[in-house]
Structure 1
Amino acid sequence: MEEKKRYSDAELEEFRAIIVEKLAKAQEEYEHLRQMVAGEGNDDNDTSPLFKVLEEGASVLNKEEMGRLAQRQMKYIQNLKAALVRIENKTYGICRETGKLIPKERLRVVPHATLSIEAKEKKK
C-alpha cells in the first residue's frame, strides 16, 4: 500500500474546525492580556500613597509578564493562521523536514505543528 502524501479534504476540514476553535479562544485570551497590559478597567485612584509606592514595583513586573504572555499568545495566533493557510494549500500536516505526514494525534493536540516528533527530536 502506498504511503499517503497528504490528508484528504475531509480530514483537512476536521483540522480546520479544530484550528478555528483554538484560534477564537487564543484571540480572546490575547485581547484579555492586552487589556491587562494597557491597564484598562484598573482604577486605583482611591489607593493610599504608601500602598501605591509598594505596589508600583509589582505592577511594573506584572505588566512586563503580561506583555511577554501577550507576545507569546500573538505568536501562537500567527502559527494557527499559518496552519489555516497550509490547509488551503493542502500542505497541512506534512512535516517540513521529512516530508512525511505528521500523525493525526499530534495535530489534534498541536494543530500548528510543522514537524513530526521524529524531526523535532533530531533538532534537539
Structure 2
Amino acid sequence: MPSILRSGFMENLVPKAAPTRYSDTELGEFKQLILSKMDIAQQEYKDLMATLDGSLSNDDNSGAYATLEDGAATLEKETVYQMAARQKKFMEQLEAALVRIGNKTYGICRATGKLIRKERLMAVPHTTLSMEAKLSQN
C-alpha cells in the first residue's frame, strides 16, 4: 500500500478545495469589462444630463404652453431625472466593483462567501451576490 501513496494515485482521489478567489488574470478580464461598461455608462449619463440642461434652458414661461403640454414636459423631465439617478447609481456600483478587484475580493458572494459564477459576473459585473443568495432573498 505505501507504494500507491508514493505514486500520487491516492492524492488524485482526494477532492480539491474550491477556489476562494479569482486569479489575477481573471480579475484583469473583469476589470476590462467593467471599464468598458463604465465608459458607456458615463457617456449615457452625460447625454441624460445634456438633455436635462437643454430642457431646462428651453423652458418657456410666456404662457405659450397649454396645461397638458406643461404636464407632459414635467413628466418627461422627471423621467430623465430618474434615469440619470439610476445611471449614477450604476456607475457607483461599477466603481465599487473596481475597488473589490483592487483588493482581490471581487467575485466573492457577500452572503455565502463562495465564488460567484463567472457567467453571472460577465452578465452583471457589479453584483455582490451569487444566484443562490439572490434567489434566497425573495
Query: What TM-score, normalized to structure 1?
Result: 0.90
Aligned partner of 2:28 in structure 1 is 13
Q: In structure 2, list runs of 5 or more residues that go unmatched.
A: 1-15
Aligned partner of 2:92 in structure 1 is 78
**Distance of 1:66 and 1:14 partners within structure 2:** 32
Q: Give a deviation string over 1:51-94, Cα, whole Å, max 9, x none.
A: x2242211110000000010000000000000000000000000
Q: In structure 1, list runs of 5 or more residues that go unmatched.
A: none
**Distance of 2:137 and 2:56 partners within structure 1:** 44
Aligned partner of 1:38 in structure 2 is 53
Identify if the C-alpha distance between structure 1 residues 38 and 44 changes in structure 2 by more than 3 Å, giving closer, same or farther.
closer
Identify if the C-alpha distance between structure 1 residues 60 and 41 changes in structure 2 by more than 3 Å, giving closer, same or farther.
closer
Alpha-carbon distance, 1:19 to partner: 0.1
Q: Which structure exhibits the higher relative contact order, with contacts defined as CA atoms closer than 8 Å and separated by 6 or more residues?
A: 1
**Distance of 1:105 and 1:118 partners within structure 2:** 14
Query: What TM-score, normalized to structure 2?
Result: 0.81
Aligned partner of 1:56 in structure 2 is 70
Alpha-carbon distance, 1:36 to partner: 1.2
**Distance of 1:123 and 1:44 partners within structure 2:** 44
Aligned partner of 2:102 in structure 1 is 88
Q: Give a deviation string over 1:30-63, Cα, whole Å, max 9, x none.
A: 1111111222697587xx92xx224221111000
1:28 is matched by which residue type in structure 2? Q
Q: Cα RMSD (Å) of the superposition?
A: 1.8
Between the two proteins, the alignment pairs up a number of residues equal to: 120
Query: Aligned residues: percent identity?
Result: 51
